Amino acid sequence: MYCLQWLLPVLLIPKPLNPALWFNHSMFMGFYLLSFLLERKPCTICALVFLAALFLICYSCWGNCFLYHCQDAALPDAAQDPSIVGT
């Protein structure tokens, strides 16, 4: 389970509030996962645990899935706040 310590932070990194950055965020996370799987070659159990957690997060549509944005999920309240300046 040593290899899970490099995979679990991927699930904890929040999606950006700005919808324009969602594509960049998903590409970064996808490339990170691909490079991790090719370089570190995690054990089968760790990979299955991570993929199951990722599937459950994305299937439940809680809004933290980095692969896509659920159509039914509303944007966070802070995304509509004009005091937050996007770069």
Give residue 41's pLDDT: 85
- The model's pLDDT over 35-65, given as tens digits with 9 standing for 90+, comes to 988 888 888 888 888 888 888 888 887 666 7
Is 43 a member of any domain?
yes
Q: Is residue 49 a part of any domain in this protein? A: yes
Which residues span the domain enclosing 45? 31-60
The number of domains in the chain is 1
23 falls within a domain? no
User: Tell me, what's the pLDDT at 46?
Assistant: 86
Indicate the pTM of the whole model: 0.66
Distances (CA, A) of 48 to 4, 43, 52, 53: 10, 9, 6, 9
Is residue 2 a part of any domain in this protein?
Answer: no
- pLDDT value at 27 more than 70: yes
